[in-house]
Amino acid sequence: MKDVMYTVASGAIASQLRLEIISNNLANMNTSGFKKDDAVFRSYMPRSYDNAENLSGKTSYPGNNLPVYFPGNYHVAISQVRSDFSTGPMKETGNPLDVALDGAGFFCIRTPSGIRYSRKGDFSVNSEGVLVTGDGFPVMGNGGEIRINGTKIAISGDGRISVDEEPAGALKIVDFPRPYPLAKVGNNLFKEVGNGAAPKRADKVKVRQGVIELSNVEPVKMITDMISVLRSYESYQKIMQIDDSLTLKTVNEVGGVG
């Protein structure tokens, strides 16, 4: 029954990882600009039939190389975690520094690790007059950092900013070819991965001032998915318990012969 146990164990681990993904989605259902994650499953054959795969790696979410390899056995695993970049609902706030992107595109944010990309537009002005994110990272304009020196702030549909009716720069908004070559790095930020095409100016997006984009997480669907995953995990546990009982019974009966 060892081969069966390996297969069942792989299903249990995949269910556990998917549960972590769903839990993270639910934890961020009220985070503006958050993009939910989805799991991509794949079945794997024994190494003798699938020796091109490199399946070593982490067994927790988030991380790369998600599959867990069970040598010489068929198994299932989460091969990839994909972010869903569909637009979330829009909410009017009336705050002149809240900005939403209606269409495809990302804000450019300067962090200590380099330029990162985000859809979260609840900005503020720091003590030096620089437009920043909630984490204090500068929001980039076409000419560098954007400085706000005044009180009357207006942001046009193409991202141009004026303060007290004087030009103050323009938001740098970029887009990427699909599928997006982006990976989450925390703080609602994304970084480029792989060797994809360089970002280009987003030309099919409208900037909306006084509005924020909410999370695209659908709570009811996530809860339904969580219940389904928990039931699957319980089924895997039951199979393993039955197998353990059969093994114990076999050992005891063989040991009692003669």
pLDDT value at 49 more than 60:
no
Q: What are phi and psi of 53, to 5 degrees?
A: -85, 140
Look up residue 179 and give its DSSP letter. Answer: S
Categorize the per-residue pLDDT at 73 as very low, low, confident or very high, splitting at 50, 70 and 90: low
What pLDDT does 2 receive?
Answer: 59
15: pLDDT confidence band, cut at 50, 70 and 90? confident
**Mean pLDDT value of segment 13-36:** 91
**What does the pLDDT read at residue 235?**
79
Residue with tokens 């007290």: 164
- Per-residue pLDDT averaged across 209-230, rounded? 94
Structure tokens at 170: 């323009």
Q: Write the Ramachandran bin of 216: left for phi over 0, alpha for psi from -120 to 50, otherwise beta.
A: alpha
Do 67 and 42 contact (CB within 8 A), yes or no? Answer: yes
Per the prediction, the chain carries an average pLDDT of 83
Q: Tell me how far the alpha carbon of residue 241 is from its chain's centroid.
A: 34
Q: What is the distance between the alpha carbons of residues 242 and 107, in angstroms, rounded to a whole number?
A: 53
- Once rounded to an integer, what is the mean pLDDT over residues 238-254? 69
Q: For residues 157 and 169, give the distance between their C-alpha atoms in angstroms, rounded to a whole number.
A: 13
Reported pTM: 0.77
Q: Residue 216: pLDDT band by 50, 70, 90 thresholds?
A: very high
For the chain, first and last CA: distance in Å? 25
pLDDT over 50 (residue 52): no
What does the pLDDT look like over 87-96, one tens digit per residue?
Answer: 999 999 999 9
Q: In this structure, what are the phi and psi dihedrals at residue 92, rounded to the nearest 5 degrees? A: -80, 135
